Amino acid sequence: MKKSITQKIWKWMPKKSMSRVVGRFAKHPISRRVIPVYIKMYDIDLSIVKRPLSEYENLLDFFIRELKPEARPIAVDPQVVISPVDGTISQAGMIDQGTLIQAKGVSYSLSELLGENDTYMEKFNGGKFVTIYLSPRDYHRIHMPVSGWIEELTYIPGELYPVNELGVRIFPGLFARNERVISYIQSSCGQMALVKVGATNVGSIKVVFDEKIITNPRNRQLENHKKYSESYHFQKGDEVGRFEFGSTVILLFEPNQIEWTIEAVSGTKVVMGQSIARVCTTEGD
């Protein structure tokens, strides 16, 4: 009963308008006064932040802060897949019969997550996935998990439900309902998908290679799938985007392509650049 009431409250809340208001405030110079409170509230380590605190113009500027290069070394082994973000694994496992695990006892559809893109649904079915949650205290830039080419991108408009532990527990199919931007990557471990999921108070999701992608627009926007005439090449660890306030990323892998190098279970903390998987090789390679 309590769960049902919470769902109804969130359903009728003006989540998109709220998120735009938060985004506007975070960009206003007055929000700079909130930065010390934000740092204290979330116990943010300033020793690894690239710029001095005095240089940040507003709260958003601090939120998307860069880190010192030495703070996040990149695992150099070309057979290694790195975490694209700082965060906490909420789920990981097999994509079984076109479904992924959202939480204990709750699953959701791969087809719905990908906007019913049958081609990619067939590619990833039977493969592996990992879902990484970024809390408000985390570093929010998104980096390339492997060296490869971004060939296609899909923007899927949707809801902006919270993606924290509570949201994941009470909203079935959450990641396939929320707004998301999906980058498709061709790499040494086959095809991959880097799914960036929006959430309540996420002002926007940005990708560095396509400035025309605008999330949570004021005017209604339809799904937008792009095949780039010239694919974008990135080295492992290169920045490819960012969240303007916290959210979640999901990595999808084709079958028989990777093996985990970490304990890929709920609650495992990861940092950008850390090895999370190794590319499978056939005998004789």
**C-alpha to C-alpha distance for 259 and 246, rounded to whole angstroms:** 28
Per DSSP, the residues of 151-208 read EEEEEE--B----SHHHHHHSTTHHHHB-EEEEEEEETTEEEEEEEE--TT--EEEET
CA 55 to chain centre: 27
Retrieve residue 235's tokens. Answer: 């080295």
- Distances 7 to 16, 160, 162, 165, 168 between C-alpha atoms, Å: 16, 13, 11, 14, 11
CB atoms within 10 A of CB 211: 8
- Distances 162 to 134, 186, 280 between C-alpha atoms, Å: 12, 30, 35
Q: Which of 19, 83, 86, 183 is catalytic?
A: 86
CB atoms within 10 A of CB 28: 13
143 has catalytic annotation: yes
**C-alpha to C-alpha distance for 123 and 251, rounded to whole angstroms:** 13
247 has catalytic annotation: yes
Name which of 133, 172, 131 is nearest 11 in CA terms. 172
Q: Which of 31, 143, 183, 204 is catalytic?
A: 143
Chunked in runs of 10, what are the mean pLDDT values of the chain (285 residues)? 58 58 76 94 95 93 94 95 97 94 86 92 95 93 97 89 78 87 92 90 81 74 82 96 87 96 94 95 48
Give the global pTM: 0.90
What is the structure's pLDDT at 43? 94
What is the structure's pLDDT at 261? 96
What is the structure's pLDDT at 222? 63
Name which of 35, 240, 248 is nearest 129 in CA terms. 248
